[in-house]
Amino acid sequence: MTVAVVQFGGSNCDRDGVRALEHLGIGAERVWHEDGLPDDVEGILLPGGFSYGDYLRAGAMAARAPVMQEVRAAAAEGVPVLGVCNGAQIGCESSLTPGAFTTNESARFQCEHVYCRVERADTPWTAAYEKGEVLRLPIAHAEGRFEISEKRYDELEETDRILFRYCDADGAVTDEANPNGSTENVAGVLGERETVAVLMPHPERATLPDLGLTDGAGVLYGFDPSLQS
């Protein structure tokens, strides 16, 4: 398959995404947003970075780019879509997933490794893991705090759409393990379809053995779960 890695002005993780996917045996190509999606697109990655310089709100301007209409249409047809960091912000701003990502509780940019607990292991993005497994992943964001109304959060819980929560090394979900103040330590969520997901940590930066961390590879297998066997 071939995954379209959508590049906006200010994206800076598109090459990282392509390299990580190709390392796993998944074909990938960078697609400039103004060119639109390829007709035969089989997967879509919205990468991290600072699309449009994060003016207005992070991801808000990119979410209104014409290509996102194509992304939403593809998602509705079951094409796998993953938003990472700035891509997660774009995904929320595009209503691919609920909630929003806003300024970190610390009010500063944070670049560090965190722990995330797998809340579901029966989705394409988490089938490589066990429920409750703890992953070590990097974050790099200033607006990564997941916010959602109490009513919408309850809906997420009721429909089992929370993928990852920030936790400590032992898997305990605590305030101290929450790097940005996200509601209920949420680090990643599903859209209405399980083939659509967003998360703030960077799985593509935790895929190549050369980088010393491979915990994120299983997330990217969501584009082609057959490669897990």
Active site residue 92: no
Name the active-site residue from 85, 92, 116, 167.
Answer: 85
Active site residue 85: yes
End-to-end CA separation in angstroms for the chain: 16
Question: Which among 163, 203, 170 has a CA at the least distance from the CA of 185?
Answer: 163
C-beta atoms surrounding 222 within 10 Å: 24
**What is the spatial distance between Cα 66 and Cα 81, in angstroms, rounded to a whole number?**
16
Active site residue 34: no
Query: Residue 189 carries which side chain, given as an amino acid letter?
Result: V
Q: How far is CA 171 from the centre of its chain?
A: 20
Question: Which among 182, 31, 209 has a CA at the least distance from the CA of 173?
Answer: 182
Name the active-site residue from 92, 93, 141, 202.
Answer: 202
Catalytic center residues: 85, 202, 204
